[in-house]
C-alpha cells in the first residue's frame, strides 16, 4: 500500500509539473508572438488554468515530503507524548479541512459539467475541465492527510528522513 500511495503522490506531482511546463510554453509563445505582432488567443486564460492545476496537483506530494508549513520550532521543544498528540490533532484538523474542500471542489466541477458552464475568454472552455484538476489535487491532499494521520496514530514520523530539510 505504501508504494501505491507514493506512486500516486509522485504521479500527481509529475502531472502538476507538466502543467508548469505548459504554462512556461504559453508564456513563451506570447512573448515570441508579440515580437512578430501575433496574438495567441486564450493564452492568458489557459495560463491561469495551468497555474491553478500546477498548484493543486502538487499539494499531495508536498504534504508527504514536509513542504507545507509546520511549526517545528514548537514541536521540537515538546516532549514525545505532547508532540505526538499535536501531530495527531494537526493531521486530523488538516484532513478534515481538506476533505471539506474536496467535497465542494468535486461538487463545483460536477455542477459546471451538469449545467454546461463555459469560460468567458476568447475561447470558450468547459469549466469542469480546469475545475477537475482542482478537485483531483484536493482529493489527493485529503488522501495524503489520511496517510499522515494514520502515520501519526501509529507513532511514525510524517516526513521521511530523506525528505526532512537539513538543519
Q: What is the CA radius of gyration of the chain?
A: 19
pLDDT in tens, 41-98: 888 899 999 999 999 999 999 888 877 776 677 777 877 788 888 888 988 999 999 9
Regarding predicted confidence, which is higher, 67 or 120?
Answer: 120
Contact by Cβ (8 Å): 129, 112: no
3-state secondary structure string across the chain: CHHHHHHHHHHHHHHHHHHHHHHHHHHHHHHHHHHCCCCCCCHHHHHHHHHHHHHHHCHHHHHHCCCCCCCHHHHCCCCHHHHHHHHHHHHHHHHHHHHHHHHHHHHHHHHHHHHCCECCCCCCCECHHHHHHHHHHHHHHHHHHHHHHHHHHCCCCCCCCCCCCCC
pLDDT, position 71: 67
pTM of the entire predicted model: 0.85
Residue 144: count of CB within 10 angstroms of its CB? 26
> Above 80 in pLDDT, residue 156?
no
pLDDT in tens, 16-45: 999 999 999 999 999 999 999 998 888 889
Amino acid at each position: 500500500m505504501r508504494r501505491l500511495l507514493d506512486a500516486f503522490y509522485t504521479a500527481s506531482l509529475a502531472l502538476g509539473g507538466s502543467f508548469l511546463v505548459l504554462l512556461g510554453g504559453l508564456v513563451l509563445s506570447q512573448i515570441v508572438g508579440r515580437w512578430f505582432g501575433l496574438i495567441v488567443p486564450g493564452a492568458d486564460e489557459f495560463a491561469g488554468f495551468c497555474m491553478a492545476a500546477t498548484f493543486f496537483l502538487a499539494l499531495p506530494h508536498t504534504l508527504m515530503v514536509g513542504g507545507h508549513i509546520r511549526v517545528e520550532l514548537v514541536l521540537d521543544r515538546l516532549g514525545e507524548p505532547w508532540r505526538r498528540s499535536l501531530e495527531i490533532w494537526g493531521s486530523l484538523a488538516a484532513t478534515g479541512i481538506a476533505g471539506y474542500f474536496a467535497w465542494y471542489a468535486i461538487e463545483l466541477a460536477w455542477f459546471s459539467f451538469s449545467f454546461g458552464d463555459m469560460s468567458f475568454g476568447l475561447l470558450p472552455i468547459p469549466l469542469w475541465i480546469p475545475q477537475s484538476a482542482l478537485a483531483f489535487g484536493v482529493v489527493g491532499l485529503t488522501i495524503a492527510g489520511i496517510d499522515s494521520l494514520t502515520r501519526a496514530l501509529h507513532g511514525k514520523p510524517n516526513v521521511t528522513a530523506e525528505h526532512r530539510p537539513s538543519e
